[in-house]
């Protein structure tokens, strides 16, 4: 999909959960646990938040949709940014915008999806999960 000069490619959905899930990894800097389910047609990231989580409320309580974009700065222009831009994984820039009350994650990267999920899952080259 192309909108306002930016190309958007559906990447994953993130879902808050209160359940412990297999394969969780912990991000101490924001007090969040994440696990991935790559078995279906759309990858799912499950996020469980600790009591000291610093993420904005919509990220802790609502699912979010994530898109890979070819120009992160243009994609966030004119939107309320509730997280970022930051680089949780090397060569993987992220920002989250408020889209009518729903958080939307926008990702700019040159990594393949295999590289993204590998780095996220094992903590390699990941600032967030080191």
Predicted pLDDT of residue 5:
86
> In this structure, are residues 95 and 54 in contact, taking their beta carbons and an 8 Å threshold?
no
CA dist 28 → 13, 16, 54, 118, 120 (Å): 22, 17, 10, 20, 15
3-state secondary structure of 117: helix
> In this structure, are residues 71 and 108 in contact, taking their beta carbons and an 8 Å threshold?
yes
> In this structure, are residues 119 and 111 in contact, taking their beta carbons and an 8 Å threshold?
yes
Domain locations in the chain as residue ranges: 2-121
Superfamily of domain 2-121: 2,3-Dihydroxybiphenyl 1,2-Dioxygenase, domain 1 (3.10.180.10)
Predicted pLDDT of residue 53:
95
Q: What is the pLDDT along the chain (130 residues), one digit of tens a residue?
A: 767 789 999 999 999 999 999 989 898 989 999 999 999 999 999 999 999 999 988 999 999 999 999 999 999 999 999 999 999 888 899 999 999 999 999 999 998 888 888 877 665 556 665 5
Residue 14 CA to residue 103 CA, distance in Å, equals 10
Predicted pLDDT of residue 113:
86
Predicted pLDDT of residue 82:
95
Residue 72 CA to residue 93 CA, distance in Å, equals 8
Q: Which helix (H) or strand (E) holds 12?
A: strand 6-16
């Amino acid at each position: 999909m192309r909108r306002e000069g930016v190309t958007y490619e559906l990447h994953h959905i993130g879902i808050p959960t209160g359940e412990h899930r297999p394969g969780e990894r912990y991000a101490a800097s924001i007090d969040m646990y994440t696990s991935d389910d790559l078995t279906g047609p759309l990858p799912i990231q499950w996020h469980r938040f600790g009591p000291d989580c610093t993420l904005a409320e919509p990220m802790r309580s609502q699912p979010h949709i994530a898109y890979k974009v070819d120009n992160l700065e243009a994609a966030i222009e004119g939107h309320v940014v509730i997280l970022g831009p930051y680089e949780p994984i090397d060569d993987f820039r992220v920002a989250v915008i408020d889209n009518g009350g729903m958080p939307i994650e926008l990702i700019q990267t040159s990594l393949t999806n295999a590289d993204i999920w590998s780095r996220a899952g094992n903590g390699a080259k990941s600032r967030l999960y080191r």
